[in-house]
Chains A and B, each alone.
Chain A
């Protein structure tokens, strides 16, 4: 009894230690060295605190921000821009991607324009979009959607084109309709590609929202950065940076979680990392 309990405990410990391999150790050491060194440099006066605040000061500010109603409202505002813009781009990108991949006509007509539009730096278009759609949330949603659209579209086209012709032949032998072939074969086949587009777009979304708010907005984390920068509040700016990073990480985690469920059968879904 004790023997089995012990071996079970040892097995558990091995399972835990097994995950703590050399790479985890190096990764943790790097973290401590980097932030420890930074903290030390600021405390010892190597860097003046108004230029580079210490990590501990930033952490205190982050905690204060995350409990202030005003900052949380700004978080929600930016997150709304990100999510609405992203899902808009997802619907349009996947829809148009399917049309381009499956209809040679649409492909021929639209592809030159899409290639041309794709080469325009989207961030440079943002000022015009603010003029067109105003200083409210709409212009930021459009900017996010515009930035997200192309990675999703390009991956969707590749995904819908990657269908195994043998699977189509199988469906045809079952006298499946085009819609059934799309739903049961083409769409599931495209999901690993669609998820690749989603991972890229999720990161781009944060950039788009912040850039949009930089150009003109009274709300959101981007405008909070601008306000704090105007007040020389470097700690405050760093705090918003940390919050934006946290938002990006959460979105990325959520996307990976969904991707692993939808495209679990594909070997492009790696178990960890990028």
Chain B
């Protein structure tokens, strides 16, 4: 009894997370007039500078959730707040990385990375300097003038990460960015992303199918249930950083993976 009172005393004060989802739900109307509930009620928060992953069975509404956070979809219920403010009133600069690189084939790597600069009518010269800087950060230096069809899948995805970074977003939303890559490239890209994340000091929300990828990269892993989705559990990953691939064979790493796998199996679909 005394112990629990003591813990309550040292508990951190209530603070506003950078991004907070409060009872967010999404219902789609189907063509046949019925309704499909993609996201039931989801609440969680993301802190500034945090790397948070979402794992869950396919079709559990992860992408829907990400689109709502990115402002591409309106939630049917609930609220998403940024720094404690309603999404309509304040929205941080977002960078979105999709499953496919979605580079424009008629533009070179540099022109593709500069696209957000043009669209947002920022200063072209500063934008280009920034673009070159991020192209170097993602490891594409020397490929500025190549066209997307001259790049491998992994390189295309790097270019799309540079494109997301060029707006200097406060948060990077990544929707299974390595889903289309082969296993080896994928492991390599995960390491690269960790490096980019730590050197660019970004908040990242990362959606993935791969449990080990989520454990490897994240500060916290949000495990979702099958559709209609809810948060099954939020698993903190306390592994020290920087993490390397060696660590994926460690006992602590295995324990986290097993834990998440068990949670996912409990949701009934995997």
A169 CB–B CB distance under 8 Å: yes
A-B pairs with the 7 shortest C-beta distances? A265-B105, A173-B96, A265-B106, A174-B119, A176-B119, A166-B102, A188-B106
Q: Known contacts A173-B70, A265-B147: does B102 contact A167 (CB below 8 Å)?
A: yes
A171 to B116, CA, bound (A): 8
Q: Are B104 and A175 in contact (CB under 8 A)?
A: no
Chain A, range 165-191, C-beta contacts under 8 Å to B: 166-167, 169-176, 180, 184-185, 188, 191
Chain B contacts for A172, CB-based, 8 A: 72
User: Considering residues A185, A264, A265, which has the most beta carbons from chain B within 10 angstroms of its beta carbon?
Assistant: A265
Complex Cα–Cα for A185 and B147 (A)? 16
Residue numbers in B under 8 Å from A166 (CB-CB): 98, 100, 102
Chain B interface size band reads 10 to 19
Query: Count of chain A residues with Cβ under 8 Å from any Cβ of B?
Result: 20
User: Chain A's nearest CB lies how many Å from the CB of B192?
Assistant: 21
**Contacts A166-B98, A265-B106: A180 and B147 contacting too (C-beta < 8 A)?**
no
Q: Which residues of A contact B119 (CB under 8 A)?
A: 171, 174-176, 180, 184
A-chain residues with CB within 8 Å of residue B106 when the two chains form the complex:
188, 191, 263-265
**Chain B residues near A265 (CB, 8 Å)?**
105-106, 147, 149
CB distance from B212 to the nearest CB of A (A): 27
* Distance A164 CA – B103 CA, assembled complex (angstroms): 11
Provide a sorted-by-A list of 22 A–B residue pairs whose CB atoms are within 8 angstroms.
A164-B102, A166-B98, A166-B100, A166-B102, A167-B102, A169-B102, A170-B102, A171-B119, A173-B70, A174-B115, A174-B116, A174-B119, A174-B167, A175-B119, A180-B119, A184-B115, A184-B118, A185-B104, A188-B104, A191-B106, A264-B106, A265-B105
Q: Which of A170, A171, A191 contacts B98 (CB 8 A)?
A: A170
CB distance from A181 to the nearest CB of B (A): 9
Question: Complex: how many Å from CA A185 to CA B118?
Answer: 13
Q: How far is the CA of A172 from the CA of B115 in the complex (A)?
A: 12
A182, chain B: closest CB distance, angstroms:
12
> What are the residues of chain A within 8 A of B170 when measuring CB–CB?
none
Q: Give A152 Cβ to nearest chain B Cβ, in Å.
A: 21
Q: B118 — nearest CB in chain A belongs to which residue?
A: A184
Q: Specify which chain A residues have a CB less than 8 angstroms from the CB of B96 in the assembled complex.
A: 170, 173
